[in-house]
Amino acid sequence: MKLVRYGAKGSEKPGVLDAEGTIRDLSGLVGDIAGVTLSDEGLARLRGLDLSKLPAVDASVRLGACVGGTGKFVCIGLNYADHAAESNLPVPSEPVVFMKATSAICGPNDEVLIPRGSQKTDWEVELGIVIGKRAKYVSEENALDHVAGYCTINDVSERAFQAERQGQWTKGKSCDTFGPTGPWLVTRDEVADPQALKMWLKVNGDTRQNGSTATMVYGVKHLVSYLSEFMSLEPGDIISTGTPPGVGMGMKPPVYLKPGDVMELGIEGLGEQRQTCIADPE
């Protein structure tokens, strides 16, 4: 299934795509694409529905982030060897873990705000893992049992805030709108191999990233198991798994986003995003 959330920001309703790509309203059946809805039992219930009997949603509706109720937005850094190289950093001996504020989460086609004082706002297409069942001390063998599905994420980053302002990476990753998520949460049964997905990103029509999850240093199973050693992963939590090469920081000379720039990105089978950058008006 391809699950969506649609409507005005902060008032999104749950939906599902039918075979023709029409959004069908689920708000009469579930409260949100969150919590128990993401469990195996909750997803099985949705799979049993006759979607043709559900109300159709206007195609022009705004799409919100494809999962709600996210308590943790966990990110993995330097998880592609060639991206580590362009960052002039070694491939890590264990996953590099940092957090992105959940207030950064936005819809896949919402405007991205260039924060006040930013000179180095950058792009990163990433595979997102959405947790469906609580995970604590899980083995790699059982890790996927705790995954509800996958989505496309743009891990927008302000490099000066991230690397030149002391401390952890979090403040360079957490500005408002720095986490476009969706358009769809694609349930794990529809993703035969999360380590074999093509991914791409364009800026103003020019291809910047063209990679595959096949080149991840640490794969989905390992990441879910590894993180569950250090924190309980709960339904609705998101893991953003790192980016392939081609970020603005790695270009020679570096190139960063400015108001008016348009990012387009996608992952095979998981849908596409499009964001226009604007100066943060606040």
Share of the chain above pLDDT 90, in %: 93
Average pLDDT of the chain is 96
Pick the more confident residue, 247 or 89: 247
The band of 33, judged by pLDDT with boundaries at 50, 70 and 90, is very high
Summarised one tens digit per residue, pLDDT across range 114-128 is 999 999 999 999 999
- d(Cα 155, Cα 223) in Å, to the nearest integer? 17
Q: How many CA atoms lie within 13 A of 27 on its CB side?
A: 11
pLDDT given at position 85: 80
* C-alpha to C-alpha distance for 221 and 40, rounded to whole angstroms: 18
Q: Which ranges of the chain does DSSP label H, i.e. alpha helix? A: 40-47, 81-86, 159-163, 170-173, 220-227
No. of H helices and E strands in the chain?
A: 5, 18
Instruction: Determine whether 116 is exposed, middle or buried from the number of CB atoms within 10 Å of its CB (0-12, 13-18, 19+).
Output: exposed
**Which domains can be identified in the chain, with CATH numbers?**
68-279 (3.90.850.10)
The Cα 87–Cα 158 span in angstroms is 14
Parallel/antiparallel/unpaired status of strands 105-106 and 179-180: parallel
Can you tell me the distance from the alpha carbon of 117 to that of 56, in angstroms, rounded to the nearest whole number?
Answer: 43
Question: Beta strand 179-180 with 121-122: parallel, antiparallel or unpaired?
Answer: unpaired
CA-wise closest residue to 184 among 113, 107, 243: 107
Residue labelled with tokens 């469906």: 132
Kindly state the tokens that stand for 195.
């380590």
With a threshold of 0.75, does the pTM exceed it? yes
Residue 141's pLDDT band, with cuts at 50, 70 and 90, is very high
Task: Render pLDDT for 211-225 as a digit per residue (tens, 0 to 9).
Answer: 999 999 999 999 999
List 152's β-bridge partners, or say none: 127
pLDDT on residue 155: 98
Distance of alpha carbon 165 from alpha carbon 169, whole angstroms: 9
Cα–Cα distance for residue pair 80/244, rounded to 1 Å: 6
* Residue count (the chain): 282
Q: Residue 168's pLDDT band (boundaries 50, 70, 90)? A: confident
Question: 174-185: per-residue pLDDT in tens?
Answer: 999 999 999 999
Q: Does residue 60 register a pLDDT over 90?
A: yes
